[in-house]
């Protein structure tokens, strides 16, 4: 149990990015009427951006 929790806590930047940041970017783009480039859906684009940012936070320990 504790190992699972520790692992999840260590992965929290990635979890946050996929669970929340991606959908926020997606729904934010839709609300503003913005289209994703290269013909991909806004959700795919948002998950790529959010995921990359989460990976950055995961590796560096900071979002900004």
- Using CB under 8 A as the binding rule, the residues of this chain from 7 to 46 that contact another protein are 8-9, 12-13, 15-16, 18-20, 22-24, 26-28, 31
Q: What is the biggest distance separating any 2 CA atoms in the chain, rounded to whole angstroms?
A: 44
H/E run at residue 51: helix 42-60
Cβ–Cβ contacts within 10 Å for residue 26, how many?
20
CB of 48 to another protein, least distance (A): 16
Which residues are near another protein by CB under 8 A? 2, 5-6, 8-9, 12-13, 15-16, 18-20, 22-24, 26-28, 31, 57-58, 61-64
């Amino acid at each position: 149990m504790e190992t699972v929790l520790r692992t999840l806590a260590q992965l929290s930047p990635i979890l946050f990015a996929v669970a929340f940041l991606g959908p926020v970017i997606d729904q934010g783009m839709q609300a503003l009427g913005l289209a994703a480039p290269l013909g991909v859906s806004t959700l795919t684009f948002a998950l790529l951006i959010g995921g990359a940012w989460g990976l950055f936070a995961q590796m560096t320990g900071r979002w900004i």
